[in-house]
Chains A and B, each alone.
Chain A
Amino acid sequence: MQIDHDALVVGAGGAGLFAALELAKSGVSTGVLTKLYPTRSHTGAAQGGVCAALGNVEEDHWEWHMFDTVKGGDYLVDQDAAEVLAREAVECIIDLEHMGLPFNRTPDGKIDQRRFGGHTRNFGEGPVRRACFAADRTGHMILQTLYQNCIKAGVRFYDEYHVVDLLFEGGDGGDGGRAAGVVGYRIADGELHTFRAKAVLLATGGNGRMFRITSNAHSLTGDGMALVYRHGIPLEDMEFYQFHPTGLYRLGILLSEAARGEGGTLLNRDGERFMSRYAPKLMELAPRDMVSRAIYLEIRDGRGAGPDGDYVYLDVHHLGRQVIEEKLPDITDFARVYLGVEPLKEPVPIVPTAHYAMGGIPTDLRARVVRDERNAVVDGLFAAGEAACVSVHGANRLGTNSLVDLLVFGRRAGREMAAYCRVAEMPAVAADAPAPVRAELDDLRGRPRGESPAVLRTELQATMMANVGVFRTGEMIATAVRDVASLKERYERVRVEDRGSVFNTDLLEARELGYLLDGAEAMAHSALARTESRGAHSREDFPERDDAHWLAHTLAYRGEPGPTLRYKPVTVTRFEPKPRTY
């Protein structure tokens, strides 16, 4: 079956829904495809806040937010993009409030704001209250509010459609072709549908499920990233992957940075606030890459807590019952439910957890996908949110800036797509456009014997966690490169047990494993080549940042046997790179 819309949005998290809303408001026929239900998207798991220089509780300026973003990203941030981010954050927050989002309020009824890691006043002088929030379920409220407004605007949703291929006209995506639509697999019955459109947005989120300990949902398998990679479009800066400092011990479930923003402390086995040795000025509110490294070093140097000395503590008990119950209710519940720990009385065992891809599908400021170092645009193809790399996060994302990114660039994507749809013609698609992916799925489902995808996924998660984690060396990353290559080879022979067509999650999980392997390949190769330490990419064999050679974005193109790496310059406008201390 073929379905036509002017615009398609793939993924129904914050970026996708904001884009869809803008498109609907412009009167563009829009379809949103999601492999879940929209309200299950992982934007809903974001907890602590969304930064915008409203200045509601103390002086603040978008220039300060821009500076913090650039410095937090260890100067790999494209500064024109960071400027857009910091400026438009303010209108996006006001926009959301006007759509009904229930922000917490100040005593005089304005949007309340709190501190968050790496966000400072006056270019680094000290913490500033910039994060707008709705208790510790800010992402939930953003997702709900955008979904509610999409319903109000009459957006057409295709719930539980798994997008399994991208369609192009006049050549492949990496080869000058323009976007023409997608192939959607209807999970309910296994039918493949051709969705034709002038403009396609990829808002498919991240790929944290390649790591053993992660805050990411099971569904975060980097589908959009892998699909563009397979069509000749590069992935940018994949070596920069964020480990959030405070994941629940063993599980990786996130405890928001808001806990530290409200005054929570990090303690080692001796009860020492160890951050004083790593970031004396910002302490626990230093950027995430630095705090995660500090935790690793504490554990490695024998100051970890517990019988195996393999975690540290997040302590909030001194904040008092009222602050904890009003401002941090969900994460308190997580500690109780998942570890059986009572945060009102005792500190919570935590470890760094794989959290966020700074890299992704390269885009320009208009959310258009670009395919080379000269920023050649892939007509009709857009990307936003965690799936994209614009690049506002550079080598390390600041807390809350993921939500800011998906709002600002999701909204921009919707507006750009609407403008594009007004002038573009409907592309042509082949009569049997799903044929190539149907062959792949039939092959995967039809093998009489083979290895279990779950075994391969577990091995992938183990090697990525051990070798491409918080600290890396050339030797470790080379091990991961070899492991991923061997897993890709074994992947050609995995077997799916469920042969049915109705709600076959066995098949889809096997398909998703292929996406994870593509993302891991791009990540490991990009990391091996970058012989410096910058932001979240911390090489023990190359501990210094090296601006002379590496102030550049990586572009990884799929190839055999491994990807080809190219580089493009970083845009520097206001802030010259400086050493990064806090």
Chain B
Amino acid sequence: MQVDLRILRFDPQRDPAPHWERYTVEADPMDRVLTLLHVVKEEQDGSLTFRRSCGHGVCGSDAMLINNRNRLACKIRVDQLGTKITVAPLTGLPVVKDLVVDMEGFFAKYRSVLPFFVNDSPPPPRERIQSPAARARYDDTTKCILCAACTTACPSFWARPSYVGPAAIVNAHRFVFDDRDEAGEERLELLADGDGVWRCRTVFNCVDACPRGINITRAILEVSRAAVERSA
């Protein structure tokens, strides 16, 4: 089948502004959008620029706006989209070139929530003990691959770019609800400020966008509830 592929292109060294380019690509319904991007780059225009690495949805490199929804290009198939496909960079982050956005601000927010395990008591000679139930408590949020699909789909983030965003809260959740961790209080305090969890309007765009199937809105609500209980 033939796919009519429209890609929002921008080369800062050549173009005054982003513009749409059209490509016709022969595709199989089971092909992924990443395959189509590779076909364009290899056969039609070598200057088409996008990030990709693992090609099967676990590294988080190729999140982009595909038919107006944030998707990993390597995980969304032509048969799920139809023969007219549009591809644009993620919304709300500065565009570097074509489908590549500047991720630095996104990672700065991630780093701001203490996204690491804290336990300063001397460790036992073997592993710390954790029950399967306690382990299950934060399982969902360990799946995050930091692709930024959730944060850049969030209207609260678009409206207020200083909002820490769903991805950072997901990564805080992963530690707040880990019973081996000791910095939960500190993280909740960070997230209780004006750019923290209260900015969530439960629009659920993040849940739709997450390629890992994380229930992000629930995670944000759980962190909000913990923050309320802490201050109560």
Instruction: Check A503/B96 contact, CB under 8 A, given A110-B129, A497-B45.
Output: yes
Taking the closest CB of chain B, its distance from the CB of A74, in whole angstroms, is 30
Contact A140 B145 (CB under 8 A): yes
| Chain B, Cβ-Cβ closest to A132 | B127
| Chain A, Cβ-Cβ closest to B141 | A102
- Asked if B59 lies at the interface with its beta carbon under 8 angstroms from chain A, I say yes
Contact A502 B97 (CB under 8 A): yes
Provide the A99-123 mask, 1 if CB < 8 A to any CB of B, else 0. Answer: 1101111111111000000000000
- Asked if B46 lies at the interface with its beta carbon under 8 angstroms from chain A, I say yes
Within the assembled complex, what's the spacing in Å between the Cα atoms of A200 and B127? 32
Contact A102 B42 (CB under 8 A): no
Contact A506 B46 (CB under 8 A): yes
Within the assembled complex, what's the spacing in Å between the Cα atoms of A99 and B118? 8
Within the assembled complex, what's the spacing in Å between the Cα atoms of A503 and B52? 13
Contact A39 B127 (CB under 8 A): no
Instruction: Check A217/B127 contact, CB under 8 A, given A140-B145, A151-B116.
Output: no
- Contact residues in A for B77 (Cβ distance below 8 Å): 337
Taking the closest CB of chain A, its distance from the CB of B58, in whole angstroms, is 5
Q: Which of A44, A103, A151, A339 contacts B54 (CB 8 A)?
A: A44
- Asked if A452 lies at the interface with its beta carbon under 8 angstroms from chain B, I say yes
Within the assembled complex, what's the spacing in Å between the Cα atoms of A169 and B225? 59
Contact B115 A500 (CB under 8 A): no
- Contact residues in B for A100 (Cβ distance below 8 Å): 116-117, 119, 175, 178, 180-181
Instruction: Check A97/B128 contact, CB under 8 A, given A334-B56, A506-B46.
Output: yes
Contact A42 B131 (CB under 8 A): no
Give the interface segment out of A142-150, A231-239, A560-568.
Answer: A142-150
- Contact residues in A for B55 (Cβ distance below 8 Å): 217-218, 253
User: At the interface, is chain B mostly helix, strand, loop or mixed?
Assistant: loop
Contact B56 A39 (CB under 8 A): no
Within the assembled complex, what's the spacing in Å between the Cα atoms of A98 and B127? 7
Within the assembled complex, what's the spacing in Å between the Cα atoms of A141 and B119? 18
- Contact residues in A for B142 (Cβ distance below 8 Å): 102, 134, 137, 141, 144
Size range of the interface on A?
A: 35 or more
- Asked if A505 lies at the interface with its beta carbon under 8 angstroms from chain B, I say yes
Within the assembled complex, what's the spacing in Å between the Cα atoms of A338 and B34? 12
- Asked if A36 lies at the interface with its beta carbon under 8 angstroms from chain B, I say yes
- Contact residues in B for A505 (Cβ distance below 8 Å): 49-50
Q: Which of B41, B57, B126, B175 contacts A337 (CB 8 A)?
A: B57
CB within 8 Å of A: which of B201-231?
A: 213
Interface residues of B (CB under 8 A from A): 11-14, 30, 32, 41-43, 45-47, 49-50, 52-61, 75, 77, 96-98, 100, 103, 107, 111, 115-119, 123, 125-132, 135, 138-139, 142-143, 145-146, 175, 178, 180-181, 213
Q: What 13 additional pairs, Cβ within 8 angstroms, besides A102-B139, A108-B129, A217-B59?
A: A36-B53, A44-B54, A45-B58, A104-B132, A105-B131, A110-B129, A149-B116, A149-B117, A217-B53, A253-B55, A502-B12, A502-B13, A505-B50
14 A-B pairs within 8 Å (CB atoms) are namely A39-B59, A39-B60, A45-B56, A94-B126, A104-B135, A106-B132, A134-B142, A137-B58, A140-B145, A144-B142, A218-B52, A253-B55, A502-B13, A503-B96
Interface residues of A (CB under 8 A from B): 36-37, 39-42, 44-45, 93-94, 97-100, 102-111, 134-135, 137, 140-141, 144-145, 148-149, 151-152, 188, 217-219, 251, 253, 330, 333-334, 337-340, 452, 454, 496-498, 500-506
